[in-house]
Every structure is written in C-alpha cells, then in structure tokens.
C-alpha cells in the first residue's frame, strides 16, 4: 500500500488549540504557526489558520486575520478546505494513522495495530514520527486469547481503568472484553488502513463458535460483518483511505450497488463481533444466555458487576442459564461470596435460581434487585415465584426496585403488602397512561408511612388491606397521621413508655458501668439537661419506635454517657455515644458500650464516637479522672478491697502529689461517697 505521510502545521504560539491556550501564560504571545509540508520543506507564519483547513480539531480559535489557505513555497502545494492539514500542539504525541495487519503461523493468529504518532519538539524545532504496536493474539491450540495494548490510550474505558499503566497485557475472557474498545477505537481525524485484515481472526472464531448460525440469524452486527456485503475494499486517495462495499440496492430489485463504508460504523461492528465471539470462546455455556434472552441482556451482563471469570462458573458446574445467573448472583468476579448487599439478613448464597425466576429477568439490574429482595429477607424464593406467576414482570421488578432503593426504610414491606400493591395497581397513574414505568417512589413512601402509623396506633396490621386504590390509601394515611399527631402531643409520655418497654430487659451492669434504657420522657429530658446535649430532640423518633436512648453510668468515677440507637422493629443499630457536652467517652466506657452491643447483637459500624481520644474527653462535675480510678483500684487490690483510714490518707497524698488542682475537690467528694467510714 502506498501510504503518503500527511502534512502538519504546528501551533507554536499555542494560540489556536483551545485545550492548550491556557498554557500560554501571559496571553500576549503573538501568533506563530509553522507548516511542515510533506515535501520536506517548512515555513513559519504569524497568522492563525481557519478551522476548516484542519483535519483533527473541531474547535479552534479563529480571528479576522486567520488565513484560509497555505501554499508551500517549495512544492507549491496548496492546503485548503479540500486538502487539509493536521494541526499539532507542541511537545504532545498526536495519533494520525492506524494500520491493522494480520498474521498467521502454525501456532497463532495475530492482529497487529500499528499506531503512528507525530510530535513537534520545541527543543529541536522539528517533527518526529513514532510507531507503537498493539496486538490481539489467539493460540490455535488452546484457544486462549491475549491482548497487548500500549499508551497513549483513547477510549474512556482505558482512561478510567489503566491511566497509570504504560503497557497492558491481558488474557481476555468474558469479564474483560471491554479492553477491545481501545483496540477498535475510532476517531474521525485518524486514517485507518487495513481494516479488512481484521477478518482473518473472525473467520477462525466463526469455526469455533457452536451457535454461530443462530447468532448470524439473530444478531444484526454478526450478520452484517460476516455477510458477503460485509467484505470491504480499501481504496487510497492520496494520503487518505476509504472503504467500499457491494450491498443490495435496497429496492428489492436484486441489484448490487457499490457504496462507501462509514469507517466508524464498521469498526463498531467489528468490536461487537470480537466481544461476543471472544466471550463465548472463553466460556462456551455463556451463549445459552443469548439463546434464552438476547444479545442486549448478554452485553449488559458481561459489562456488569454480575459476571464471574470462567473458572468460577466451571467450578460451580454452571452450564445452564439458571445456574449461570445463580452463580453470578452469589459470587463476585474473582469467586468470592458476594457480601455487597448492605444490611442483608439472608445469605444470598442460599438462593436458588429456578427457571421461573430466570425467565422473569428482563435485564441484569433485575438480578441485582432480586439479590437484594432475597438477602434483605423481604421475599422468599417461593414467594418471588408466586408473584411472577400472577403479575406482569415489569410491574413486579419496578415495585421491588423501589422497595430496595428506599433509603432509611426502617419498616420493610412483607409479601402480603407487595401482593396488595400489585393486585390493586397502587402506583400513581401519570398522564402518559397506566404503564408500569409510572411506578413512583411516592406511593411507596405513603404506603410505608401508613403501615408505621397503623402500628403506632396499635391497630391491626391488616387494616391497610382495606385500601383498594391510591386515593383510599392516601385518605387512610392522612386520617391516621392526623389522629396520631393529635394523640402524640397529649400522650407523649405514655407513648414513650410503651415504645421503649420491650427494651427494658437490656438493662444490665458491665464491669463497673450501669447500663439503663432511658425509661420515660421525663428521664430523657433530665438526661439532656444533665449531659448538656441534645438527646431530647430524639423524643419524637423514640415515640415513633425509630430510636432508642440508653444511659451509661460509671459507678465509681460518676462518668455518664448517652448511647443512641436507630431502631427498626426490635432491631437496634448503634448510632452515637456522647459524653458531657457531646464529649468523647473514656476508654473504659467505650469498651463497655461495645461489649454491650456485642452481647445484644446490636450492629456497630465503625464510628468515631467509639475511638479513644483523650483530647475530646470532658469531665463532669464530681467525676473522677481515669488515672485516679487506676490508683484507687491498685490501692484496693493491695489492701484486699477494704481501705482503712490510713490507706485513704495515703491515697489522697498520692493524688495531691500529682498536682491535679481542679479535680481535687470533686475527687474528695467522690471519696466520701465511695467509702463508708
């Protein structure tokens, strides 16, 4: 092939290329551009050139002086809108052409992608060319596929994932075929030679693909690429290259016409074919997903977090679609059991994917919804199946998605509720009509609020089932909420007592720390006053069974702290531990609070209130310091628990020696309280 090098013009003053003009710091630079004609001659200009004689930039700074054509003084060639130039920034590699080449020997088939770069170097005042070669290789014996792709990268995929790598070698399988997006990346300013050479490997893959005939029939890009008319002819026009193909005229007259190929479209089809055939080659049973769903489902699946490496499926004997999706749900890419569903109650590992459930999946997002619904304990497997048999899939999954996505959802809807919603088409019908996409989170908020207020009013759970449509639900919600609010103001004290009642059994003593559920709203008020913090503002939430306050008191030092827990039914979750004026509790107090949570199966997520920080501690009046507590404990040990008057005097001397002026008074008071003389 006769490849003529193009001509370049360099934006020396960096006043034209928008991305780079900011680097021109003083902004006062005069225009300086330099033409490097492919005849070998170069010449400098002091004017910008117009945008439409440049191939590779869509946005350029132009002004009234910009020239609309350049003529090389040596060879007299004119550059204009019909004969364009590449514009180069300074000291940056610019990719201007790509050549695909194919090679086959007895062991391998390889496609090499030669990337040709040009760079203007300021220090040398010249342009240099550089070639970087990427490759795709398939071993004919093992059918293993590998890729070797080098910087600089162009596709988003690589920018996101491999920015720091200079060279990337990968064995390709269905989990990482997106790497090919770099290999077949298209940019309109680049000249692509030898695209037709990419077909040799495709034809080899075709023979290895058991279900090729079905793919060819049902998947458009496969049909297009492998058909007779998919064959392309490369034509050089000066330094540019075009492709042509023979296709049916489109009039059904049996005539074949010659048509120019849109290079970018052709590369996208090649990319899709390679992604598909490589995926299926790396794990053959994956083609059953395409055969039972469609290519779109397959594509989203292999691009999602729900795809595992082939070995994982093989180790799970996942050869049919149900088992493949079940394995995808249970394991992450590398085969670790999925722990990604926060707040899960059920182990997703126990989930069994039946044909009924598999058939109901519309896309891979549904799989994720299913995983959450199951692991949150909202629905059991047979309940999911019952719903699928009775209701439209799109209605079910849209509702379930809304349920699992609801944030701070401390009341979970049950199977009965879900069935109630589906049966009565509870979603709000929007103007565009009664379709499943009009499910809105709003009705669900109202539904869940109604369940909550029914519980607060001590009405029967089934009360909500009286509602047969959205407006009767809204009516019930507004009515009961109004009643509850009126009652709440009158009867807060009573509501508080009944809300916390079932937790009083948590009261206990751990070490020297007394732990007590704050039992009444009066006590809650006092707690806030004593501790100078804001626990009282949690009153409403406690009355509504969404929060619980527990007091911790150290029986020797007098230290107090308040622990707050979010509440969902009987389940508590640690939220905060605050000392005097919201200060940090002492190490011993923190330890006891953690022990209390562990003993009562209360979930703790890592929290700064539970990390020891002496600088954030603050003593209450009458509170003994930690070091005094230690001294006292040592003394007690030495004296077999009983402290004589002499020992007490000795202890006071030690304490004074330590020169703790402001705690001395409180310490004395404590000592009086502690011992009976």
Q: Which is nearer to Zn ion, 35 or 624 (CB)?
A: 35
Q: Which is nearer to Zn ion, 71 or 102 (CB)?
A: 71
If we measure between CA atoms, which residue out of 382, 454, 442, 370 comes closest to residue 411? 454
Query: How large is the C-alpha radius of gyration of the chain?
Result: 37
Q: Which is nearer to Zn ion, 73 or 508 (CB)?
A: 73
Nearest distance from residue 69's CB to Zn ion, in Å? 14
If we measure between CA atoms, which residue out of 150, 154, 148 comes closest to residue 130? 150
If we measure between CA atoms, which residue out of 615, 554, 634, 566 comes closest to residue 590? 554
HSE, side-chain direction, 13 A CA sphere, residue 162:
22
Q: Which is nearer to Zn ion, 18 or 39 (CB)?
A: 39
* Number of residues near Zn ion (by CB under 5 A): 6
Cα distance between residue 145 and residue 201, in whole Å: 11
Nearest distance from residue 37's CB to Zn ion, in Å? 3
**ω into residue 249 within 30 of 0, thus cis?**
no
Contact status: 73 vs Zn ion (CB under 5 A):
no
Site string for Zn ion, 8-47 (x = CB under 5 A): -----------------------------x-x-x------
| Pair of tokens at residue 269 | 């089809």
Q: Point out which span in 68-76, 166-174, 256-264, 497-505 binds Zn ion (CB under 5 A).
A: 68-76
Phi, then psi, of 190 in degrees rounded to 5: -95, 140
Q: Which is nearer to Zn ion, 74 or 352 (CB)?
A: 74
Q: Which is nearer to Zn ion, 74 or 416 (CB)?
A: 74
| Pair of tokens at residue 167 | 């060279």
Q: Which is nearer to Zn ion, 39 or 504 (CB)?
A: 39
Q: Which residues of 479-510 are buried (b: 16+ CB within 10 A; e: fewer)?
A: ebbeebeeebeeeeeebbeebbeebeebeeeb
Cα distance between residue 219 and residue 290, in whole Å: 10
Nearest distance from residue 43's CB to Zn ion, in Å? 9
Site string for Zn ion, 183-212 (x = CB under 5 A): ------------------------------
Cα distance between residue 150 and residue 147, in whole Å: 10
Query: 16, 17, 49, 72: which one contacts Zn ion (CB under 5 A)?
Result: 72
Nearest distance from residue 33's CB to Zn ion, in Å? 15
Q: Point out which span in 64-72, 302-310, 589-597, 616-624 binds Zn ion (CB under 5 A).
A: 64-72
CB 392 within 8 A of CB 398: no
CB 175 within 8 A of CB 309: yes
Q: Point out which span in 67-75, 463-471, 498-506, 555-563 binds Zn ion (CB under 5 A).
A: 67-75
Given the DSSP bridges, would you call strands 94-104 and 191-193 parallel, antiparallel or unpaired? parallel
Nearest distance from residue 8's CB to Zn ion, in Å? 12
Nearest distance from residue 41's CB to Zn ion, in Å? 5
Close Cβ partners of 325 (under 8 Å, ≥ 6 residues apart)? 289, 353, 358, 361, 367
Cα distance between residue 443 and residue 440, in whole Å: 6
Q: Point out which span in 66-74, 131-139, 387-395, 513-521 binds Zn ion (CB under 5 A).
A: 66-74
Nearest distance from residue 75's CB to Zn ion, in Å? 3
Q: Which is nearer to Zn ion, 75 or 457 (CB)?
A: 75
CB 61 within 8 A of CB 16: yes
Q: Which is nearer to Zn ion, 42 or 116 (CB)?
A: 42
Query: 3, 29, 44, 75: which one contacts Zn ion (CB under 5 A)?
Result: 75
Nearest distance from residue 121's CB to Zn ion, in Å? 21
Give the CA angle between residues 561, 566, 570 to the nearest 5°: 110
HSE, side-chain direction, 13 A CA sphere, residue 533:
23
Nearest distance from residue 38's CB to Zn ion, in Å? 7
Q: Which is nearer to Zn ion, 82 or 105 (CB)?
A: 82
Distance of CA 262 to the CA centre of its chain: 35
Nearest distance from residue 53's CB to Zn ion, in Å? 15
CB 145 within 8 A of CB 137: yes
**What SS3 class is residue 280?**
helix
| Pair of tokens at residue 614 | 């002496």
Q: Which is nearer to Zn ion, 74 or 483 (CB)?
A: 74
Q: Which is nearer to Zn ion, 87 or 396 (CB)?
A: 87
User: How far is CA 310 from each of CA 255, 275, 286, rounded to the nearest angstrom?
Assistant: 46, 15, 9
Nearest distance from residue 213's CB to Zn ion, in Å? 55
CB 140 within 8 A of CB 107: yes
Nearest distance from residue 74's CB to Zn ion, in Å? 5
Q: Which is nearer to Zn ion, 74 or 491 (CB)?
A: 74
Beta sheet of 33-36, edge-to-edge order: 42-45, 33-36, 8-10, 86-88
Nearest distance from residue 9's CB to Zn ion, in Å? 12
Using CB under 5 A as the criterion, which residues of the chain lie in contact with Zn ion when the complex forms?
37, 39, 41, 72, 74-75
């Amino acid at each position: 092939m006769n490849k003529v090098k193009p001509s370049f013009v360099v934006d020396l003053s960096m006043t034209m290329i928008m991305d780079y003009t900011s680097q021109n710091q003083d902004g006062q630079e005069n225009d300086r551009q330099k033409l490097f004609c492919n005849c070998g001659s170069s010449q400098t200009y002091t004017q910008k050139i117009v945008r439409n004689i440049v191939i590779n930039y869509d946005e350029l700074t132009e002004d009234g002086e910009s020239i609309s054509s350049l003529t090389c003084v040596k060879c007299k060639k004119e550059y204009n809108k019909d004969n364009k130039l590449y514009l180069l920034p300074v000291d940056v590699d610019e990719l201007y052409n790509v050549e695909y080449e194919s090679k086959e020997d007895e062991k391998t088939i390889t496609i090499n992608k030669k990337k040709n770069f040009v760079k203007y170097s300021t220090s040398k005042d010249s342009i240099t060319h550089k070639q970087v070669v990427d490759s795709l290789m398939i071993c004919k014996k093992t059918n293993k596929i590998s890729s070797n792709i080098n910087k600089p990268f162009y596709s988003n995929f690589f920018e996101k994932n491999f920015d720091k790598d200079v060279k990337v070698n990968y064995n390709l399988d269905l989990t990482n075929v997106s790497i090919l997006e770099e290999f077949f990346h298209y940019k309109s300013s680049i000249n692509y030679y030898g695209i037709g050479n990419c077909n040799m490997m495709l034809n080899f893959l075709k023979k290895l693909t058991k279900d090729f005939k079905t793919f060819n029939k049902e998947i458009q890009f496969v049909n297009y690429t492998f058909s007779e008319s998919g064959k392309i002819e490369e034509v050089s026009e000066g330094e540019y290259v075009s492709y042509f193909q023979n296709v049916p005229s489109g009039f059904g007259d049996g005539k074949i016409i010659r048509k120019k190929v849109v290079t970018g479209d052709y590369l996208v089809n090649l990319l899709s074919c390679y992604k598909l055939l490589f995926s299926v080659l790396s794990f053959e049973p994956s083609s059953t997903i395409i055969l039972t769903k469609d290519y779109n489902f397959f594509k989203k699946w292999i691009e999602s977090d729900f795809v595992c490496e082939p070995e994982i499926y093989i180790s799970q004997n996942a050869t049919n679609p149900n088992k493949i999706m079940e394995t995808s749900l249970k394991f992450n890419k590398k085969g670790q059991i999925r722990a990604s569903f926060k707040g899960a109650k059920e182990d997703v590992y126990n989930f069994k994917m039946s044909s009924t459930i598999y058939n109901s999946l519309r896309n891979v997002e549904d799989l994720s919804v299913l995983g959450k619904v199951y692991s949150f304990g909202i629905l059991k497997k047979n309940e999911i199946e019952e719903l699928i048999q009775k209701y439209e899939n799109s209605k079910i999954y849209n509702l379930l998605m809304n349920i699992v996505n609801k944030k701070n959802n401390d009341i979970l809807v049950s199977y009965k509720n879900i069935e109630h919603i589906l049966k009565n088409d509870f979603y709000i019908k929007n103007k565009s009509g009664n379709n499943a996409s009009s499910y809105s989170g709003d009705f669900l908020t109202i539904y869940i609020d109604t369940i909550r207020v029914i519980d607060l009013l001590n009405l029967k759970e089934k009360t909500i089932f009286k509602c047969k449509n959205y407006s009767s639900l809204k009516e019930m919600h507004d009515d009961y909420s109004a009643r509850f609010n009126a009652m709440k103001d009158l009867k807060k004290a009573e509501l508080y007592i009944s809300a916390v009642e079932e937790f009083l059994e948590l009261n206990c003593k751990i070490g020297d720390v007394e732990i007590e559920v704050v039992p009444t709203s009066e006590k809650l008020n006092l707690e806030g006053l004593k501790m100078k913090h804001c626990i009282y503002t949690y009153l409403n939430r406690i009355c509504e069974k969404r929060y619980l306050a527990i007091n911790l008191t150290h029986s020797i030092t007098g230290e107090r702290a308040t622990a707050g827990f979010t509440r969902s039914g009987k389940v508590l979750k640690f939220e905060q531990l605050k000392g005097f004026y919201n200060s940090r509790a002492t190490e011993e107090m923190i330890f006891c609070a953690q022990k209390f949570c562990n003993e009562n199966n209360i979930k703790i997520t890592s929290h700064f209130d539970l990390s020891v920080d002496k600088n954030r501690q603050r003593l209450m009046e009458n509170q003994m310091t930690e070091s005094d507590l230690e001294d006292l404990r040592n003394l007690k040990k030495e004296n077999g628990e009983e402290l004589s008057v002499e020992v007490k005097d000795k202890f006071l001397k030690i304490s004074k020696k330590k020169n703790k002026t402001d705690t001395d008074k409180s310490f004395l008071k404590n000592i009086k309280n502690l011992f009976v003389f």
